[in-house]
Chains A and B, each alone.
Chain A
Amino acid sequence: MIEVKNIKKAFGDKTVIQDVSSVMKAGQCNLIIGSSGSGKTVLMKCMVGLFDPDQGDVLYSGQNFTTMKGKEKTEIRKEIGMLFQGSALFDSQTVEQNVMFPLSMFTKDSYRKKLDRVNEVLARVNLVDANKKFPSELSGGMKKRVALARAIVLNPKYLFCDEPNSGLDPQTSLVIDKLIQEITIEYNITTVVNTHDMNSVMEIGNYILYMYKGNKEWEGNNKEIIFSKNQRLNDFIFASEFLRDAKDMRMLEETGKISNERDMDALLDKDAPTLVPPPDEDK
């Protein structure tokens, strides 16, 4: 479990995070959402110690990470895995070397044992036959999976994912989301995901923290978010017309006005004019 207590962070005169508190539980995906510039990345960087908060505390399983010094902090960091927005793979190393790096740095295992573990985690993220490839030879989705493999190779207790779906197509995004969710449950990890992808929110949001201009604006889960009455949150999640329609449909389902088990084929109007003209068979 990670507890964030009254975190405040400013850069010069600009306050980016204003008194944010939250509790993120183990074995579930905790999402921090918000529009660009709302402070979600800064909050995550304060949580992992890349930024020192001006005020407040971050507690990992009750231990105050903010007040820790050198060695203690390093011990907690060994229990943290992080998936970066740009994957942050080491350019000069192969996939195998990238994933093996934390093992080589922090364990005294034999090469054989380390290689077995690397192959195990690469298989877990559905990446086979890529061991000898360099990051420049991988697609965006593959890079994210390698980064995820590297993040979980030391069996972390806490997993942080900074915009894991940025730059990925919806299908690959879904694969990454599912993977993060499965790994979270499988290893009982406290996962914190920073995103503004609404598909991720609906798919894996066990706990959602909505940030607005550096403040905690709303918290809840993926079942509650769609019916929230918070205007700022609604403006954010229903920015697209498609999602507004989806919400209306859900409302109709919830109020029993339409059936949840409706037959989609029957709903299609087969006589409706098509935008594509039929092929001219005379030609």
Chain B
Amino acid sequence: MTIFSDIGRYLLMIKGMFSRPENARMYWKEFIHQCTEIGFGSLGIVAIISVFIGAVSTIQTAYQLVSPLIPPSTIAQIVRDTVVLEFAPTLVCIVLAGVAGSRIASELGNMRVSEQIDALEIMGINTKTYLILPKIVAALLMIPLLVAIAMALGIWGGRMAGVASGIISGSVFDKGLLEFFVPFNVIFALIKSYVFAFIISSIPAFYGYYVKGGALEIGRASTKAVVVSCILILFADYILSALLLPT
């Protein structure tokens, strides 16, 4: 029963977000603040993960392609497609669920427990609109951008590792990148990143906004938010792949 009541409260929270802002300038300020927190705050970890994932992909693909009949440029194709289709959107978003998601849940949880949300309500501010909507909109803008950066950095990391270890030359890798390129793969990855961005921002916001208790409960809510977000990301990944990829 709890799951149904949670889903109901989550939907009511989403519905409650859509109200006229009391002061558009203050909301814009909050939106920019959230863009900075979610976007620039996560850029470092996203860059590190992307480069290393691309590098590891190149080495492991080369390790498995033992047949001399397969041209080396295939390594670049495989690295490109795995990075674009799966690693950049899904893995990066799972990491972002931990980085940005836990920050959103603990920030709102702390505001709830220390009565800051009540203080805003008393002032006549719609706290769902002021505190949650800018986070979701900022995530919808910044996370696809981070995913796009992750795609570029992942492929660059793969090329760098291939060249550095002598597996593949730079020119062959570049040639392989252009072979059998399907532009829809990038669109598919961006569709996934939008869906994941909504999950990463709204689920932790829900757990943080409705937290009850003290510091311990904030920690629990934060952990639960990350776990639920990760599960939903994987579930959505499967559903979107089944629906959108022609098999």
Residues in chain A within 8 A of chain B (CB atoms): 48-50, 70, 73-75, 77-78, 80-82, 84-86, 88-91, 101-102, 104-106, 160
Q: Which residues of A contact B179 (CB under 8 A)?
A: none
Q: How far does the alpha carbon of A50 sit from the alpha carbon of B117 in the complex, in Å?
A: 10
Please choose the segment from B122-130, B144-152, B161-169, B236-244 that sits at the chain A interface, where 4 or more of its residues have CB less than 8 A away. B122-130
Query: What are the 4 A-B residue pairs with the smallest beta carbon separation, nearest first?
Result: A77-B124, A88-B119, A88-B115, A74-B124
Bound form: Cα–Cα A86–B115 in Å: 7
Q: Could you tell me the distance between the alpha carbons of A70 and B128 in the complex, rounded to whole angstroms?
A: 14
| Majority SS at the chain B contact face | helix
Q: Quick one: which of A74, A78, A88 has the most chain B CB within 10 A?
A: A88
Q: In the complex, are the beta carbons of A88 and B116 less than 8 A apart?
A: yes
Question: With A and B bound together, what is the CA distance between A81 and B123 in angstroms?
Answer: 7
Q: Are A106 and B115 in contact (CB under 8 A)?
A: no
- Any A CB within 8 A of the CB of B6: no
Q: Does B174 touch A at the CB level, under 8 Å?
A: no
Tell me, rounded to whole Å, the shortest Cβ–Cβ distance linking A89 to chain B: 8
B119→A105 contact, CB < 8 A: no
Q: By the criterion CB–CB under 8 Å, are A105 and B26 in contact?
A: yes
* Chain A residues, Cβ within 8 Å of B114: 86, 88, 91
The answer to whether A90 and B23 touch (CB under 8 A), given A77-B124, A105-B125, is: no
* Interface contacts beyond A50-B122, A82-B119: sample of 6 additional A-B pairs, CB < 8 Å, sorted by A: A77-B122, A84-B119, A88-B114, A104-B23, A104-B25, A106-B22
Selected contact of A84 from candidates B118, B124, B125, CB within 8 Å = B118
Q: Which of B19-46 contact A (CB under 8 A)?
A: 19, 22-23, 25-26
Residues of B within 8 A of A (CB): 19, 22-23, 25-26, 110, 114-116, 118-119, 121-125
Please state if A105 and B123 are interface contacts (CB–CB under 8 Å): yes
- The minimal Cβ–Cβ distance linking B120 to chain A, given in whole angstroms, is 9
Q: Is the CB of B122 within 8 A of A105?
A: no
What residues of chain A lie closer than 8 Å to B26, measured between beta carbons? 104-105
Task: Kindly state the separation between the CA atoms of A89 and B116 in the bound complex, as whole angstroms.
Answer: 7
Residue of B nearest to A147 (CB): B119
A105 touching B115 in the complex, CB below 8 Å, given contacts A50-B121, A82-B122: no
Once the chains bind, are B123 and A77 in contact (CB under 8 Å)? yes
**How many Å from the CB of B21 to the closest CB on chain A?**
10
Instruction: Please give me the residue from chain A that is nearest to B124 by CB atom.
Output: A77
Query: Which chain A residues border B25 with CB–CB below 8 Å?
Result: 104
Query: Taking A77-B123, A78-B124, A105-B125 as contacts, is the C-beta distance between A50 and B23 under 8 angstroms?
Result: no
Query: Chain A nearest CB: distance from B138 CB in Å?
Result: 16
- Shortest distance from the beta carbon of B168 to any chain A beta carbon, whole Å: 48
* Contacting residues, chain B, for A105 (C-beta < 8 A): 22-23, 26, 123, 125
Q: How far is the CB of B104 from chain A (nearest CB, A)?
A: 14
- B-chain residues with CB within 8 Å of residue A91 when the two chains form the complex: 110, 114, 116
Q: Are A85 and B115 in contact (CB-based, < 8 A)?
A: yes
Across the interface, which residues of A come within 8 angstroms of B19, CB to CB?
70
Which residues of B lie under 8 Å from residue A101 when comparing CB positions? Answer: 123
Known: A50-B122, A74-B124, A78-B124. A84 touches B22 (CB 8 A): no
Tell me which residues across on chain A come within 8 A of B124, comparing CB atoms. Answer: 73-75, 77-78, 80, 106
Q: Kindly list chain B residues whose C-beta atoms are within 8 Å of the C-beta of A86.
A: 114-115
